Amino acid sequence: MSLSLSEIHHDGQYTLTEVDRNINMDWFAPDILRQKGHLQGKAQGRGNAWFIQIDNTDCVLRHYYRGGAVANLLHDRYLWTGLTRTRAWQEWHLLAKLCELKLPAPQPVAAKVHRTGLFYRADLITRSIPQTQTLAQCLSNEPMPHSLWQKIGNTIARFHAESIWHADLNARNILIDKQGNIFLIDFDKARFRPRAPKWQQKNLQRLHRSLHKINNSGETLHFDENSWQRLIRGYKTA
């Protein structure tokens, strides 16, 4: 599926959406959405994101915030180096490509970038994936069947086979629906890169570490190394 795009540039504000949508700036304002009854809640464990409804479509709104050492200084501001290099623009276009490849990831709906001088702020709206829980949430409830672990490994391998590097593959960025379908979310800073065993293994190791980190934080997960080996088996046999 190829998405037709509509870009609007006006007075330092840039928006991007599907060509058949009339974009509304209220979509990016949680307080206004709440007043209109279109704010359905805040996503737990998925960063700064809200569940919203626009045009009778369930969506997720995410505002980009800085992380690391500069977060206290810059908060949600990023250095402007050109529109096509902004976080929202790059993620929107990557997600559109994932849709073309029929990979299990969110479909992009709209993006907004607001430039002020040397800096910009940004937001991204994607379609919500219904009736899902994160891998971390699923593991906090009960052990998962081995077949589901293998399916997670298989899904990650599908992305790697298309040369897609996920910048933050962790237990909260993998969704599982009630039918056992697997999805990857949060493609901020993700990109296409030449396939190589080194970065592919590092991607898997990051997920492995995140599972242990959650376990060691005091939040009990039904996870052990046997489960992980099932994931690796699914990855290798994809």
Tokens matching residue 34: 């709440």
pTM: 0.92
Active site residues: 168
pLDDT-based confidence at residue 20 (cuts at 50, 70, 90): low
> Is 159 within 8 Å of 103 (Cβ atoms)?
yes
pLDDT for 101 beyond 60: yes
> What is the C-alpha to C-alpha distance for residues 147 and 142, in angstroms, rounded to an integer?
15
Digit-coded pLDDT (tens) for 57-100:
999 999 999 887 787 888 999 999 999 999 999 999 999 999 99
Report pLDDT for 62: 95
- CA-based max dimension of the chain: 56
Report pLDDT for 48: 76
Helices and strands per DSSP (H, E), number in the chain: 7, 13
**What superfamily does domain 132-236 belong to in CATH?**
Transferase(Phosphotransferase) domain 1 (1.10.510.10)
